[in-house]
Amino acid sequence: MLTDRRGAPLAVTITAANCHDMKAAWPTLAGIVVPRPAPRPYHPQHLCRDKGYDYPEIEAGVRACQYRPHLRRRGEEKLAPETGRRHPARRWVVERTGSWHNRYRRLLIRWEKKAENYLALAQLACCLTIYRMTVLG
């Protein structure tokens, strides 16, 4: 799932349970349905990822798409609080949106045999999430 900074879903893809995150990166980025604003040098567009996307080909592709990647590397520990350096927390936005999707029981446990049906339910959940964010506040 790809979200904006508020947590509104922009793209969602489904994969097999044993598929690595790295393989789902490009279909998810290509699945954005709203037109992306043009990147400006003084106002870059950020892309926050977790350690599952720490591969050189993903890094090069994200930079080629003119995103500024934010990623903690594999094997890298959190920064010590005594150094005074702290990265702002960004990953929780995607985790919260995933939690909103887990409220739909049909998404929490997959009962559909066809991938198309499950993808349709995931996209419907994205539509309901955006509706609740915009109309209901």
pLDDT in tens, 88-105: 556 778 888 888 888 888
Match 């005074």 to its residue by tokens: 84
Q: What is the rounded distance in angstroms from the CA atom of residue 78 to the CA atom of residue 76?
A: 7
Q: Quick one: angle between helices 115-134 and 92-101, nearest 10?
A: 110
The string of pLDDT tens digits covering residues 99-135 is: 888 888 888 888 889 999 999 999 999 999 999 999 9
The answer on pLDDT for 31 being more than 90 is no
**Secondary structure letter of residue 122 according to DSSP:** H
pTM of the model: 0.76
What's the whole-number average pLDDT of the chain? 82
21, containing H or E segment:
helix 21-30
Strands in the chain per DSSP E? 2-3, 9-11, 45-48, 67-70
